[in-house]
Amino acid sequence: MTQLAGREGSQIDLPEPNEGRFATPHDVRDDAARDTEGGVSVVLALGSNLGDRAATLRAAVREIGELDGVELVAASPLYESAAVKPDGVDTDAPEYLNAVVGIRYRGTPNDLLDAVNRIEAEHGRVRAERWGDRTLDIDLIVVGTLQQGDARLTLPHPRAASRDFVLAPWLDIDPDAEIPGVGRVADLLRAMPNTVRRHDGDDSAAGGDGEVTR
């Protein structure tokens, strides 16, 4: 039975040293084929600023958990913030709800990106302009300790370290979180202005009060 913890006491099950420490996507594929047990720890960030944002995020968390090779480990509370656009904060745009989920994953990073892109599309995601308003965005933030500069998939996500709408929910589910090659999430968050607030009400991306059993 998998416990999906939300707020307090929840943690992403980070890999032991060397576990999930992959040098190239090719290595990930090889290792994923061998590692039929736990897979690698992956952190995904979700955002929505159109439609029923909370319902979309909760549905997306459920759908991520149903993907092949995925075991949900933790889901953060929901955070609200003004939309950041290429020219700065846009107070006229609908506000975002954001959340972070931790999973264990057996498969290749590219397959996971394809799978989350399909979930985005099923929720009506339209790609029109850079950082345009969207029903659902799902980004891969870290895949184990993999560092790669691929245009299609850059890991860790190149803008995660400067986004408190990613770091704040991530810290909630993993107080020891680190961005490989960058630093500790707690330190990054402390050094930047706070632009997020907890979303009122039923506040876990997993639904209910954050504790889900499946």
Ligand X SMILES: Nc1ncnc2c1ncn2[C@@H]1O[C@H](COP(=O)(O)OP(=O)(O)OP(=O)(O)O)[C@@H](O)[C@H]1O
Ligand Y SMILES: Nc1nc2c(c(=O)[nH]1)N=C(CO)CN2
Positions marked active-site: 125, 134, 137, 139
Which DSSP helix (H) or strand (E) runs through 171? helix 164-173
Task: Kindly write out the interface string for residues 47-66 of this chain, putting x where it contacts ligand Y by CB under 6 A and - elsewhere.
Answer: x-------------------
**How many whole angstroms from its chain centre is CA 65?**
12
CB of 152 to ligand X, least distance (A): 4
Tokens describing residue 12: 């992403």
Matching residue, tokens 């810290």: 171
Interatomic CA distance for residues 62 and 105, integer angstroms: 15
Give the Cα separation of 161 and 179 in Å (integer). 8
Task: Please answer whether residues 99 and 79 qualify as being in contact, where contact means their C-beta atoms are separated by less than 8 angstroms.
Answer: yes
| Residue reference for tokens 């955070």 | 79
> Which residue's entry shows tokens 């998998």?
2
Residues between 162 and 191 with contacts to ligand Y, criterion CB under 6 A: 165
Q: Which does 143 bind (CB under 5 to 8 A by kind): ligand Y, ligand X, none?
A: none
By beta-carbon proximity to ligand Y, the closer residue of 84 and 182 is: 84
Closest CA to 204 of 43, 67, 57: 57
Q: C-beta of 129: minimal distance to ligand X in Å?
A: 9
Residues of the chain by 3-state class (helix, strand, coil), percent to 5: 25, 25, 45
Give the nearest distance from C-beta 144 to ligand Y in angstroms: 22
Complex with ligand Y: residue 139 or 174, whichever CB lies closer: 139
Based on CB atoms, which residue is closest to ligand Y, 73 or 78?
Answer: 78
**127 near ligand X, rule: CB under 6 A:** yes
Judged by beta carbon, residue 63 or residue 139, the one nearer ligand X is 139
Q: Which residues pair with 169 in a beta bridge?
A: none
Partner from ligand Y, ligand X, none contacting 28, C-beta within 5 to 8 A by type: none
Q: Tell me: does residue 98 bind ligand Y (CB under 6 A).
A: yes
Q: Which of residues 49-108 bind ligand X (CB under 6 A)?
A: none
Nearest to 141 by CA among 15, 45, 63: 45
For position 194 contacting ligand Y by CB under 6 A, the verdict is: no
Binding-site ranges for ligand Y (CB under 6 A): 47, 81-84, 96, 98, 131, 137, 165
Binding-site ranges for ligand X (CB under 6 A): 113, 127, 131, 137, 139-140, 152-155, 157, 159
